[in-house]
Each structure stands twice: as structure tokens, then as C-alpha cells.
């Protein structure tokens, strides 16, 4: 399911964002990246390859609840380049 528009689509329509926790004491201190293989372990998030969904995601602040602000800004700019 897309974290922007909440719709279900086939996997090839999505970009997968994966989270790797580096510090077990501080869950927000984790690295986040676009998982181009779709095979990485760790928690994954899907978003359509669509700027509209990226905007919806930014508006919902969903990622801010899961990641640190630095990680959020980094993944937003990386997603933008992929779309
Ligand atoms: Zn979407």
C-alpha cells in the first residue's frame, strides 16, 4: 500500500523505502534509503512513482513519526529524484 495515496497497486509501480535500525536504544536513529532491489530486510514502505503521492506523504507527516527529521529530508529528496 502506498504511504501517500493509500492505494494498493502492483509492486513494480512502487518505490520501496527501507529502514535499517542502527541503534536499538534510539529507534529514530536509523538509516533510510530507497531499496531498489526490493529485497532488503528491515521495515519497508511503498510509495507510487508519483510526485502527487510524495506531496501527500509530506502533508501527512507520516515519515516524521517513524524517522528522524534529517532522515525524512534526505529520503524526500532522494524520492523526488527517482520520480
Ligand atoms: Zn500513491
Region 11-82: CATH code = 3.30.1230.10
Residues linked to residue 47 through DSSP beta bridges, in sequence order: 15
**Ligand 1 midpoint to CA 69 (Å):** 22
Measured in Å, residue 21 CA sits from the centre of ligand 1 at 25
Cell 510509495 locates to 47
Compute, in angstroms, the gap from residue 2 CA to the centroid of ligand 1.
5
Q: How far is the CA of 57 from the centre of ligand 1 (A)?
A: 9
Residue 48 CA, distance from chain mean position: 10
Q: What is the pTM of this model?
A: 0.85
C-alpha of residue 3 to centroid of ligand 1, in Å: 7
Quickly list H helices, the chain: 51-60, 62-66, 69-82
Predicted confidence (pLDDT) per residue in 22-80, tens digit: 666 665 567 889 998 877 777 889 999 999 999 999 999 999 988 888 889 999 999 99
Amino acid at each position: 500500500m502506498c504511504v501517500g495515496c493509500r492505494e494498493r497497486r502492483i509492486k513494480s509501480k512502487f518505490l520501496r523505502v527501507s529502514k535499517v535500525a542502527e541503534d536499538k536504544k534510539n529507534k529514530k536513529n536509523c538509516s533510510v534509503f530507497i531499496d531498489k532491489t526490493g529485497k532488503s530486510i528491515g521495515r519497508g514502505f511503498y510509495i507510487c512513482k508519483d510526485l502527487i503521492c510524495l506531496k501527500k506523504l509530506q502533508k501527512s507527516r507520516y515519515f516524521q513519526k517513524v524517522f528522524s527529521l534529517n532522515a525524512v529530508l534526505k529520503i524526500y529528496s532522494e524520492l523526488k529524484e527517482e520520480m
